[in-house]
């Protein structure tokens, strides 16, 4: 060591430190010296090695106030020197910074420093005397902050920052309410520019926006817009609202377009364009100049951006984003608007856009409130594609946004975020100095790439290129555990007894750069195999009542920048069971369970045997009941079908007996219905014959065309009656072609299918029969198909028979069961079963017996078609089934003649004849009843209850004759509907039915029917019933018309007529004093039409409305005369009669004396 130093320092060296570059630092009692380099000298001296110093320089650090205690070197070759009086920092150029203890939380806790240590994460750990441990992050990110300091006149004028601009020499900061601050970037001096209520100052201290343009600073505030000329001293300020037509309104944003025009967004006047020509300014307020344009209707502008490269402007009103395209002269050429739409996938997710920035010609980045950051890609057709960056609401409210030189997005809300557009990762940064909630419009990007962001507590600035993540990985570990709220030591595993059911685990990342920002995720393998993240700021895991087994706890951690460590910490956790859950105990339990199981098995087996016997008995009983119900229902349906022809036969016989004359029509009716009954009985017999054994086929050669033509011709007359288009199409066959089939079998198939087709096909529809050799011309007409019979062996020579109708169709759920025996299709339009359930079952068995295939397709409301495929070659059948002789004839299997020769019935309207409506779905019965009644009554016909209901509403009907079982609306429902309506309740109702049980009769009478006649119907009984009902109705009318003062009139009426009678009488009596009480008044009060009210009153009371009103007036007059002693003139006022002479006339006519004489008689009494 140089002698001069030794002499100066008194030969006392207190501390030496050799750094990473072989430079030696020597601390004496008062000073610190540094050598440039040290060279080792080989020496045999046993006391130590020898080093040679080339030179030694004195540093600015002095230890006169406190002795040196330690020296460390950081990653950047800087020195940290501690003493008993503070901490010194010395960089490579020997520039010194001193740190002392103070009241602030950002200073040392104590000046007396014992030692220093730099850990692997570059944290400087400072051990102090009586001050604990202090830590300094040596890799702290270079975020800088300028804040308001109350007692410092050279600080910002207030906390809240609203606008920022950087002219390279000065930083201009607009505050919320204390004007403009100019900060010298070199000297850090602050100049405050504020309003002083003169024309030479700014117009308001409430700054909202700033714009640098050439040597001008445009300042937007709550009272308008000012221009500060930067190249003048003192500063010259022009107020635009004084030298131009710019309004005195809050200017929220400013921007300059590619033509040099300035665009201003205001709070109440929308967007404004400013053209500057030297000192002349022209302002275009589009809200006033183009008031009809939708984009300019909005008054408020939240944010605005003018492209400096392309002729277009973007601004947000808080309700939509508006895009203005400019022409070559800088005028508006095209206006486009964009709005958030929740129904669109790639739409904006918020209309409140706080910041607009442009990455390139087609990509916008938008900061929004409530929607995070939106990336908006503009398309050439005027549309757009938007992507929202929200990150689980963490990135939701964005007030400032800037794009750095690497196209990363820096966004400020409650915190500062960086979104990497390449990796799609979001990172949150915590700024030194505490939370700073950023404000709309307060961000700025300088030409050197520095980003400024202002908020509620000053401003933050940084160079994004100098912000890098900490690459040092965290090392997860467990710091301590608590078992049942008591601390416990642990080793390589954690063992718990069965009663230790609460475990608390404390985690540590062993990373001390902002350890609170370290995150953890964990999983307990064997309990929960998925990774779960610990809430930020928490370091505790808690488990309760873990099942008794072995687990492995695995933990991962991040450093303060969110980089996950590849190291996974794991430790076994073993929960021991109690003795009663050990393996030995479980073996004992298993043995006991096995014994118990054997005993239970023996008991259960016996019990199940008894249960099976009981179930079998119950099943036999239920099946017996089910079959009994089926039979009962079947015979009910058969009886209904049999009673229809019986009715026709009986009525025809009665008519013959009465007329003593045999007619061709009567013969046809008798033959037709006898054959119909025979056919129904034959079906019953045949279905029972085929049930157990299949009768032998009788195959014979048959001429195809004559056989099927003759068979189908039997239905031609029925088709004409129902006006159904019936066609038979026999293809691929000549007149001489023969087939080999069982004629009786085929006849029954075709007859049953055609009968059903005609039965369930309404009038004016279509039925078609197709006979073909090939299935190419045969295909189902509906999508839902049921293959009822499918032979396993293919048929080489076939004949195909298809029957197609356009009737009511069959529902899909019923299609699979239509050929089951006794199955009846239920239909919405048919309240009763649609058939006896035998016909299609018989067809199925006949087709199967004939070795054929059968399929059906149908669609509800559209129709049905059946396809039968039968073998037709002699070789397909055994010799024993072929008849020895060939009958070349078309078997006339159906003798039924559906043709009805209608007697010319003159039904000329005669108002004196009562009107009867006949409601019957069977055409023949309806015609028979009409023929027997037309001479005495006017006849109206209807096929079902719905049709009849419409007719009754339009026509006056005196009596109703209705069948019980009908489609769409049956007789019971029609009867109930009419009897519930007071307008029709007095019409007599006769029910005709095949149901003969007492219960059915009681049900019909309970519904309000006046008579209940069984089929077959006696025409004489029917005529007698009609006469009695109409005569009773007439007598009731006469009685009511002549006994108007009888208090028992209501007892004579039916319940429904009582309501009408009482309502009518109440309305008249309540308004009896009104002279204008007439028919029109009553119609309005009671809600009846004039015609309907006339008819109803006549039917119920039997007298005209005017007569009934007059009668009640006279009745009221008599009551007044009897109870009060008043003049006749006063009586007339109270009963609503104006003329006394008229009153005297009608009173005398009614009572045989004048009102005066009547009153005298009362007084004498």
Each residue's pLDDT tens digit, 489-529: 988 999 999 888 899 999 998 887 778 888 999 999 999 89
The pLDDT of residue 755 is above 90: no
| Mean predicted confidence (pLDDT) in 180-184 | 95
- pLDDT over 70, % of the chain: 85
Q: Annotate 309-358 with DSSP letters as a single string.
A: SSSEEEEE-SS-EEEEEE-TTS-EEEEEEE---TTSTTS-S-S-EEEEEE
Angstrom distances, CA of residue 91 to CA of 15, 35, 122: 19, 15, 16
The pLDDT of residue 374 is above 80: yes
Q: Give the Cα separation of 253 and 305 in Å (integer).
A: 8
The pLDDT of residue 336 is above 70: yes
pLDDT tens-digit map of 40-73: 555 555 555 556 666 778 888 888 888 999 999 9
The pLDDT of residue 470 is above 90: no
The pLDDT of residue 910 is above 70: no
Other CB atoms within 10 Å distance of the CB of residue 412: 29
Residue 1053: the pLDDT is 52
Q: pLDDT band for position 7 (50/70/90)?
A: low
| Mean predicted confidence (pLDDT) in 969-991 | 86
Residue 114: the pLDDT is 93
| Mean predicted confidence (pLDDT) in 954-973 | 87
Residue 1156: the pLDDT is 84
Six-digit token string for 428: 């949150």
- pLDDT over 90, % of the chain: 36
Residue 1051: the pLDDT is 45
The pLDDT of residue 854 is above 60: yes
899 or 806: which carries more pLDDT confidence? Answer: 806
21 or 208: which carries more pLDDT confidence? Answer: 208
- Contact between 700 and 877 (Cβ < 8 Å): no
Q: pLDDT band for position 634 (50/70/90)?
A: low
The pLDDT of residue 902 is above 50: no
Q: Give the Cα separation of 1160 and 1165 in Å (integer).
A: 9
Six-digit token string for 502: 């609460």
| Mean predicted confidence (pLDDT) in 952-980 | 88
Other CB atoms within 10 Å distance of the CB of residue 1120: 15
| Mean predicted confidence (pLDDT) in 849-869 | 91
3 state DSSP class of 1162: helix
Return the closest-CA partner of residue 957 out of 894, 1029, 906.
1029
| Mean predicted confidence (pLDDT) in 302-331 | 94
The angle formed by the CA atoms of residues 571, 574 and 580, to the nearest 5 degrees, is 175
Residue 673: the pLDDT is 66
Omega of the bond leading into 862 within 30 degrees of 0 (cis): no
Please name every residue paired with 486 in a beta bridge, in sequence order, or none if there are none.
483
Q: pLDDT band for position 403 (50/70/90)?
A: very high
* Per-chain mean pLDDT for the chain: 83
- Contact between 724 and 764 (Cβ < 8 Å): yes
Angstrom distances, CA of residue 988 to CA of 414, 960, 1062: 85, 6, 21
Q: pLDDT band for position 1106 (50/70/90)?
A: confident
Residue 821: the pLDDT is 59
| Mean predicted confidence (pLDDT) in 150-157 | 85
| Mean predicted confidence (pLDDT) in 391-414 | 88
- Contact between 400 and 411 (Cβ < 8 Å): yes
Q: Give the Cα separation of 534 and 524 in Å (integer).
A: 13
1051 CB-near residues (< 8 Å, 6+ apart): none
Q: pLDDT band for position 263 (50/70/90)?
A: very high
Residue 99 exposure: Cα atoms within 13 Å on the Cβ side? 20
Q: Give the Cα separation of 555 and 540 in Å (integer).
A: 12
Q: What are the strands, taking DSSP E only, across 185-331?
A: 190-193, 207-213, 216-221, 224-229, 236-239, 251-256, 262-266, 271-277, 280-285, 303-306, 312-316, 321-326
Angstrom distances, CA of residue 1046 to CA of 78, 617, 1061, 1146: 126, 68, 13, 20
315 CB-near residues (< 8 Å, 6+ apart): 253, 263, 265, 271, 301, 302, 303, 304, 305, 321, 322, 324, 356
Residue 903: the pLDDT is 41
pLDDT tens-digit map of 679-704: 666 656 555 555 444 567 888 889 88
pTM of the model: 0.51
| Range with lowest mean pLDDT among 228-237, 399-408, 1077-1086 | 1077-1086
1034 or 583: which carries more pLDDT confidence? Answer: 583
488 or 715: which carries more pLDDT confidence? Answer: 488
For the chain, domains (ranges, CATH) are: 3-139 (2.130.10.10), 477-571 (2.60.40.10), 579-695 (1.10.287.130), 697-758+788-879 (3.30.565.10), 915-1041 (3.40.50.2300), 1049-1164 (1.10.10.60)
Residue 69: the pLDDT is 93
Residue 113: the pLDDT is 94
The pLDDT of residue 894 is above 70: no
| Range with lowest mean pLDDT among 90-94, 464-468, 662-666, 1084-1088 | 662-666
């Amino acid at each position: 060591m140089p002698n001069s130093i030794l002499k100066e320092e008194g030969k006392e060296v207190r501390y030496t430190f050799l750094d990473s570059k072989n430079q030696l630092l020597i601390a004496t009692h008062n000073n610190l010296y540094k050598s440039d380099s040290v060279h080792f000298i080989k020496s045999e001296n046993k006391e130590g090695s020898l080093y040679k110093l080339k030179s030694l320089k004195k540093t600015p650090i002095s230890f006169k106030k406190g002795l040196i205690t330690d020296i460390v070197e950081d990653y950047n070759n800087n020195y940290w020197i501690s003493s008993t009086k503070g901490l010194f920092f010395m960089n490579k150029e020997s520039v010194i910074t001193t740190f002392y203890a103070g009241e602030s939380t950002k200073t040392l806790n104590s000046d007396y420093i014992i030692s220093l240590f730099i850990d692997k994460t570059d944290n400087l750990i400072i051990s102090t005397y009586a001050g604990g441990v202090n830590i300094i992050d040596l890799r702290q990110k270079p975020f800088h902050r300028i804040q308001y300091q109350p007692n410092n006149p050279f600080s910002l004028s207030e906390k809240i920052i609203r606008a920022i601009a950087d002219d390279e020499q000065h930083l201009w900061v607009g505050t919320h309410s204390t004007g403009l601050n100019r900060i010298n970037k070199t000297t850090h001096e602050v100049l405050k520019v504020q309003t002083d209520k003169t024309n030479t100052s700014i117009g308001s201290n409430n700054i909202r926006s700033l714009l640098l343009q050439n040597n001008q600073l445009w300042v937007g505030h709550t009272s308008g817009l000012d221009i500060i000329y930067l190249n003048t001293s003192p500063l010259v300020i022009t107020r635009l609202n004084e030298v131009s037509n710019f309004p005195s309104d809050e200017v929220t944003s400013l921007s300059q377009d590619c033509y040099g025009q300035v665009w201003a967004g205001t709070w109440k006047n929308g967007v404004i364009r400013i053209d500057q020509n030297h000192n002349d300014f022209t302002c275009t307020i589009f809200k006033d100049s183009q008031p009809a344009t939708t984009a300019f209707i909005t008054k408020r502008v939240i944010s605005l951006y003018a492209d400096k490269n392309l002729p277009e402007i973007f601004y947000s009103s808080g309700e939509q984003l508006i895009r203005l395209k400019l022409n070559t002269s800088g005028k508006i050429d095209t206006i486009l608007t964009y709005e958030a739409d929740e129904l669109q996938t790639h739409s904006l997710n918020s209309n409140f856009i706080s910041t607009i920035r442009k990455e390139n010609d087609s990509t916008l980045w938008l900061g929004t409130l409530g929607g995070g950051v939106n990336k908006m890609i503009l398309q050439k057709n005027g549309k757009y594609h938007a992507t929202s960056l929200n990150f689980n609401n963490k990135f939701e409210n964005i007030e400032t946004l800037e794009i750095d030189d690497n196209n990363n997005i820096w966004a400020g809300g409650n915190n500062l975020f960086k979104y990497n557009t390449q990796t799609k990762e979001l990172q949150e940064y915590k700024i030194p100095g505490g939370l700073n909630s950023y404000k709309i419009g307060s961000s700025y990007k300088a030409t050197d790439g520095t980003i400024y962001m202002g908020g509620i507590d000053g401003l933050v600035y940084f160079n994004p290129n100098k912000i890098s993540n900490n690459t040092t990985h965290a090392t997860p570990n467990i710091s301590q555990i608590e078992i049942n709220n008591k601390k416990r030591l642990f080793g390589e595993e954690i063992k718990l007894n069965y009663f230790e059911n609460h475990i608390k685990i404390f985690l540590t990342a062993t990373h001390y750069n902002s350890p609170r920002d370290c995150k953890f995720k964990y999983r307990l393998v064997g309990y929960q195999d998925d990774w779960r993240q610990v809430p930020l700021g928490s370091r505790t895991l808690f488990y309760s009542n873990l099942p008794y087994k072995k687990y492995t706890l695995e933990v991962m951690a991040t450093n303060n920048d969110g980089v996950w460590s590849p190291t996974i910490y794991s430790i076994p956790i073993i929960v021991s069971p109690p003795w009663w859950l050990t393996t030995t105990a479980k073996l004992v339990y298993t043995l006991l369970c096995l014994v118990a199981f054997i005993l239970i098995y023996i008991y259960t087996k016996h019990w199940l045997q008894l249960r099976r016997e009981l179930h079998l008995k119950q099943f036999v009983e239920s099946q017996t009941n089910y079959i009994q119900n089926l039979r009962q229902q079947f015979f009910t349906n058969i009886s209904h079908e049999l009673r229809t022809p019986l009715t026709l036969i009986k009525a025809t016989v009665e008519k013959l007996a009465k007329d003593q004359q045999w007619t061709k029509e009567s013969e046809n009716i008798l033959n037709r219905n006898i054959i119909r009954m025979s056919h129904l009985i034959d079906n019953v017999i045949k279905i029972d014959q085929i049930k157990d054994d299949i009768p032998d086929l009788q195959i014979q050669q048959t001429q195809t065309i004559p056989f099927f033509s003759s068979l189908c011709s039997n239905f031609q007359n029925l088709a004409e009656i129902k006006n159904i288009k019936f066609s038979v199409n026999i293809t691929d066959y000549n007149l001489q072609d023969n087939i080999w089939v069982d004629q009786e079998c085929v006849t029954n198939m075709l007859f049953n299918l055609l009968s059903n087709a005609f039965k369930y096909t309404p009038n004016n529809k279509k039925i078609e029969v197709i006979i073909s050799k090939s299935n190419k011309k045969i295909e189902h007409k509906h999508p839902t198909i049921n293959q009822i019979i499918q032979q396993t062996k293919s048929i080489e020579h076939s004949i195909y028979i298809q029957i197609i109708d356009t009737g009511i169709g069959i529902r899909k759920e019923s299609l699979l069961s239509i050929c089951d025996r006794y199955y009846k299709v239920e239909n919405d339009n048919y309240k009763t079963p649609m058939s006896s359930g035998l016909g299609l079952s018989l067809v199925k068995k006949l087709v199967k017996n004939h070795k054929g295939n059968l399929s059906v397709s149908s669609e509800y409301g559209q129709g049905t078609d059946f396809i039968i495929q039968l073998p037709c070659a002699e070789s397909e059948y055994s010799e024993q089934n072929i008849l020895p002789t060939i009958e070349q004839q078309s078997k006339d299997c159906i003798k039924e003649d559906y043709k009805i020769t209608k007697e010319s019935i003159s039904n000329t309207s005669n108002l004196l004849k009562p009107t009867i409506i006949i409601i019957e779905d069977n055409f023949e019965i309806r015609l028979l009843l009409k023929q027997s009644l037309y001479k005495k009554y006017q006849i109206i016909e209807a096929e079902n209850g719905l049709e009849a209901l419409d007719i009754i509403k339009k026509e006056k009907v005196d009596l109703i004759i209705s069948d019980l079982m009908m489609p769409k609306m049956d007789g019971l429902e029609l009867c109930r509907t009419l009897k519930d309506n007071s307008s029709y309740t007095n019409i007599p109702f006769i029910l005709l039915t095949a149901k003969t049980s007492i219960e059915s009769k009681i049900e019909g009478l309970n519904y309000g029917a006046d008579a209940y006649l069984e089929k077959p119907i006696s025409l004489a009984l029917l005529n007698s019933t009609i006469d009695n009902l109409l005569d009773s109705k007439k007598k009731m009318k006469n009685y009511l018309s002549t006994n108007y003062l009888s208090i028992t009139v209501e007892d004579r009426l039916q319940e429904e007529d009582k309501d009408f009678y009482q309502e009518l009488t109440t309305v008249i009596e309540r308004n009896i004093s009104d002279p204008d009480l007439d028919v029109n008044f009553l119609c309005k009060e009671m809600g009846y039409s004039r015609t309907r009210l006339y008819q109803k009153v006549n039917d119920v009371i039997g007298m005209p409305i005017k007569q009934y009103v007059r009668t009640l007036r006279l009745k009221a007059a008599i009551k007044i005369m009897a109870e009060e002693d008043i003049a006749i003139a006063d009586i007339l006022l109270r009963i609503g009669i104006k003329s006394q002479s008229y009153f005297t006339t009608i009173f005398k006519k009614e009572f045989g004396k004048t009102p005066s004489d009547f009153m005298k008689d009362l007084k004498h009494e």
